[in-house]
Structure 1
Amino acid sequence: MDWIGIKVEFNNSVPSERQLQVDPEKLVNIPHLESLLNYSFNDRSLLVEALTHGSYMLPEIPRCYQRLEFLGDSVLDYLVTVHLYKKYPDISPGLLTDMRSASVNNECYAQSAIKNGLHKHILHASQRLHKDISRCISNLKEVPSGPSFGWESETSCPKVLGDVIESLAGAILVDSGYNKEVVFRSIMPLLEPLVSPETLRLEAVRELNEFCQREQFLMRMPVVSREDGLTSITIQVEADGAMFKHTSTAADKKMAKRLASKEVLKALKGIGSARLHGE
């Protein structure tokens, strides 16, 4: 910044002054959350803000978690990037990028939030959100104990579940005087086990695209329709003179495309296996 002529003075010793007039102990379970996060807040109103959904606006809580989420999103992306760079000094930038994508996404964060019970502490007044969270947890049935890539899930989770991981990271960053190492020690255990080169799996849409390019199969444009708040997507691939297609429906367009791609990919891999064995 100095080199391009912008003078910036960083004073990280004192968190910014806040005007929130709240009694945190009446709104959230401070001891449990501080134990879970392995961090004791100096300003516990930050913890309240980090867990406050936009539907839960009180005079004493003038803003929801979105500003802290904005901050936490960036710091977690940075921390995971540095962690992977240091831990795997010999792997390629492309593989590092894939590993970061598998580790830093809203679906992955959402599963971490559920696994650690953070969904029980979100302050909201939305019946719709309550139903969506309940449905998500019911559909997941059990959160995988191994590395989570988010995109392996076959159900859409409300964005707020992933957002609170980021907003909590932002809250800890501000409260600690912008100490990134404190954020790392607090949030990373919630995301474990992190992906490794051995456990990495590509997202289904991307894997299907790369598979078709490699095998010289023809992918047609997806067919998209929407009805009653649900999106249906048909993925079509022409391979060895046959058409392989599958239609999936979900509340989220990305999820519908992912599920359809996954099924088509499964069928196409059967062709590859038959080719390999000369069938």
Structure 2
Amino acid sequence: MAPPPAMKPASRKRGPPAPDPVELPPPGFVADRAEAAARVERLLRYQFRDGRLLEEALTHQSFADDAVSYQRLEFVGDSALGLAFSNFLYLTNPTLGPGPLSTLRAANISTEKLARVAVRHDLYPLLRRNCPRLDLLVGQFIETVKQEPEDDLSTVPYGGSVVKAPKVLADIVEAIAAAVYVDCKFDLEKLWKRLTWLHGLQEIRWTVNTNNIKDWINNFIYGKRLVTRWLFEPIITAETIDEQPVTMLHELCQKHGKMAQFKTWQKGGMTVVNVFVAGELVGIGSSEQKVIAKLNAARDATRKLAGAKKQVLTTGVGNGLGDEIGELRECKQKLNEQCSRQNWPKPIFK
């Protein structure tokens, strides 16, 4: 009797590919959980009534099968921060309509913004986890953020210039905020305005005299010197926010009756995006991640169209080389892909 045919191994669902190894120090880990909790409480100037909430907020789902992770808290924190910022922006921007207010809220609670909050306050080492690939992604992002200009908010809401923010960093911030919110019996005012009165009383004692006590109290009540707001500073305002780069580029071109075209190609492990307007190459962006490469290309094109390439919008006169270069690169890429599929020798271009 013939043996049964060999069974094919079941296919496994795979997550996002791990980035190429780089020489980076791995993010640390605070093994002493009491010290990890104390760091968060010192940062927030808040003492938790239920310490289990903070333990839950600092536990990733990869840590252990029987451990309660931050996922439920992150769900609550996402909504709580959204409502808290809605209230704050509504009160501090009395002339803005719902559209601009929504844009500001989204910018302040975006994954990119919250991830930088986590990096700035060194929260990732406090997280219990068991995922080396996650450590590598976060390590790369931390190194990238360190190279960004201080308080440069122009790229934050929509993505940095090199690496997209790992969602886990934003999740940590949302989970910690939710832990405070639940610990305060779902009191949104306490979450946003004050996590403890002790910090405020100390400030009154050391910084306020009888001449400006009224102004200080007003500032305290309306969120000017409060712990939670301090945690999220610098806050993105109507004066500091930029439009989404791709949207800004399209709107700029449409004003002059032109259209921006994006062409993508691969160079090694990098994605390169070229931007063409009226047949002219006006912007180039690259990154390991396609979405970041497109954002970089749009930013580059917008800068050039406001300066050296301004005549492309006003006259539409280009040398035509942009389309030719882009098409040539596209053809080379397709030929390389075909040779790879057929196991043919790699073509040599002269």
TM-score by length of 2: 0.63
Do structure 1's residue 93 and structure 2's residue 127 form an aligned pair? no
From 290, 306, 310, the equivalent of 1:272 is: 310
From 196, 211, 223, the equivalent of 2:252 is: 211
In structure 1, give the amino acid aligned to 2:175.
Answer: S
In structure 1, give the amino acid aligned to 2:128.
Answer: L
Is 2:159–2:165's contact at 8 Å kept on the other side of the alignment? no
Deviation at 1:274, TM superposition (A): 8.7
Do structure 1's residue 179 and structure 2's residue 187 form an aligned pair? yes
Which residue does 1:30 correspond to in 2? 37
In structure 2, give the amino acid aligned to 1:83.
Answer: F
Is 1:41–1:172's contact at 8 Å kept on the other side of the alignment? yes
Task: Report matched runs for 1:97-246 at 5 Å.
Answer: 97-142=102-147, 144-146=149-151, 148=153, 149-151=156-158, 153-154=160-161, 155-185=163-193, 186-220=227-261, 222-224=262-264, 232=271, 234-239=273-278, 242-246=280-284
Counterpart-to-counterpart distance in 2, 1:196 and 1:273 = 32
Counterpart-to-counterpart distance in 2, 1:247 and 1:143 = 17
Deviation at 1:70, TM superposition (A): 1.1
Counterpart-to-counterpart distance in 2, 1:201 and 1:41 = 37
CA 1:210–1:175: 2 relative to 1, 3 Å: same
Counterpart-to-counterpart distance in 1, 2:63 and 2:111 = 22
In structure 2, give the amino acid aligned to 1:232.
Answer: T
Is 1:224–1:231's contact at 8 Å kept on the other side of the alignment? no
Counterpart-to-counterpart distance in 2, 1:274 and 1:233 = 22
Is 1:47–1:171's contact at 8 Å kept on the other side of the alignment? yes
CA 1:218–1:275: 2 relative to 1, 3 Å: closer
Deviation at 1:225, TM superposition (A): 5.8
Any idea what the Cα deviations from partners look like across 1:154-178, whole Å, max 9, x if unmatched? Answer: 2222211111111111111111111
How many equivalent residue pairs?
A: 248
* Relative contact order, higher structure (CA 8 A, sep 6+): 1
Match of 1:29, SS state, is: helix
In structure 2, give the amino acid aligned to 1:257.
Answer: K
In structure 2, give the amino acid aligned to 1:140.
Answer: V
Is 2:273–2:286's contact at 8 Å kept on the other side of the alignment? yes
Counterpart-to-counterpart distance in 1, 2:291 and 2:231 = 25
Counterpart-to-counterpart distance in 2, 1:81 and 1:195 = 13
In structure 1, give the amino acid aligned to 2:176.
Answer: L
Is 1:53–1:122's contact at 8 Å kept on the other side of the alignment? yes
Is 1:28–1:48's contact at 8 Å kept on the other side of the alignment? no
Deviation at 1:86, TM superposition (A): 0.5
CA RMSD of superposed structures (Å): 2.8
Is 1:111–1:150's contact at 8 Å kept on the other side of the alignment? no
Which residue does 1:254 correspond to in 2? 291
Is 2:58–2:128's contact at 8 Å kept on the other side of the alignment? yes
Counterpart-to-counterpart distance in 2, 1:147 and 1:188 = 18
In structure 2, give the amino acid aligned to 1:119.
Answer: Y
Which residue does 1:8 correspond to in 2? none
Give the gaps of 5 or more residues in structure 1.
1-23
Do structure 1's residue 263 and structure 2's residue 300 form an aligned pair? yes
From 44, 51, 64, the equivalent of 1:57 is: 64
Counterpart-to-counterpart distance in 1, 2:51 and 2:311 = 57
Counterpart-to-counterpart distance in 2, 1:107 and 1:72 = 16
Do structure 1's residue 67 and structure 2's residue 72 form an aligned pair? yes
Counterpart-to-counterpart distance in 2, 1:235 and 1:226 = 11
TM-score by length of 1: 0.78
In structure 2, give the amino acid aligned to 1:53.
Answer: H
Counterpart-to-counterpart distance in 2, 1:224 and 1:28 = 48
Counterpart-to-counterpart distance in 2, 1:57 and 1:161 = 19
In structure 2, give the amino acid aligned to 1:213.
Answer: Q
Which residue does 2:320 correspond to in 1? none
Deviation at 1:273, TM superposition (A): 7.8
Counterpart-to-counterpart distance in 1, 2:312 and 2:265 = 34
From 79, 82, 89, the equivalent of 1:84 is: 89
In structure 2, give the amino acid aligned to 1:129.
Answer: L
Give the gaps of 5 or more residues in structure 2.
1-30, 194-226, 315-350
CA 1:122–1:83: 2 relative to 1, 3 Å: same
In structure 1, give the amino acid aligned to 2:298.
Answer: S
| Percent identical | 29
